[in-house]
Structures are given as C-alpha cells and as structure tokens.
Amino acid sequence: MEEAMKENRRSFIKKTLSASALVAAGSTVAIASTKSENNASSNGVVVGKSPKKEILYKQTAQWDAFYKASY
C-alpha cells in the first residue's frame, strides 16, 4: 500500500513539474515578445517604413528664453 502511495506521489510530482515547466516557458516567450514590442515604441521613437516627420521640440516660451540666452 505504501509503495502505491509513493508511486502516486511521484507521478503527481512529475506531472506538476512538467506542467509548471511548460507554463514557465510559455510565460518567458510571452514576456520576450512583449518586451520587443515595447522597445520598438519606447522613448517616442517611431518605427515603420513610411516617411516620418521628425519633431525635435515644440516651440514654447521656455524654449524661446533658452534660445535667446544661448545667442
């Protein structure tokens, strides 16, 4: 009877470990694909093949004061 319980425990542990390994592998792939998507759109960098209009700054009173002080 004890031998059967040990086998049941072993098979349960094997199944649990293999399932958790599959979940871990799947989550790793999902995280990697999410990170690559975030890197492409991070820091305001536009990615794509169409021509982009590059906006370096928006003209504000603070920028005007900075440029007048730098001349």
Domain membership flag for residue 53: no
Q: Summarize pLDDT for 4-49 with one digit per residue, the tens.
A: 777 778 888 888 878 777 777 777 766 766 555 545 555 667 677 7
Q: Is there a domain that residue 68 lies in?
A: no
| Per-residue pLDDT, 58 | 84
Could you tell me if residue 59 is inside a domain? no
Residue 42 gets the label, from left (phi > 0), alpha (psi -120 to 50) or beta, of beta
pLDDT for position 16: 85
Question: DSSP readout, 7-47?
Answer: HHHHHHHHHHHHHHHHHHHHHHHHHHHHHHHHHHTGGG---
- Residue 28's domain comprises 1-41
Q: Considering the domain boundaries, does residue 60 fall inside one?
A: no
- Rounded to the nearest 5°, which phi and psi values hold at 40? -70, -30
pLDDT tens sequence across 52-62: 777 777 889 99
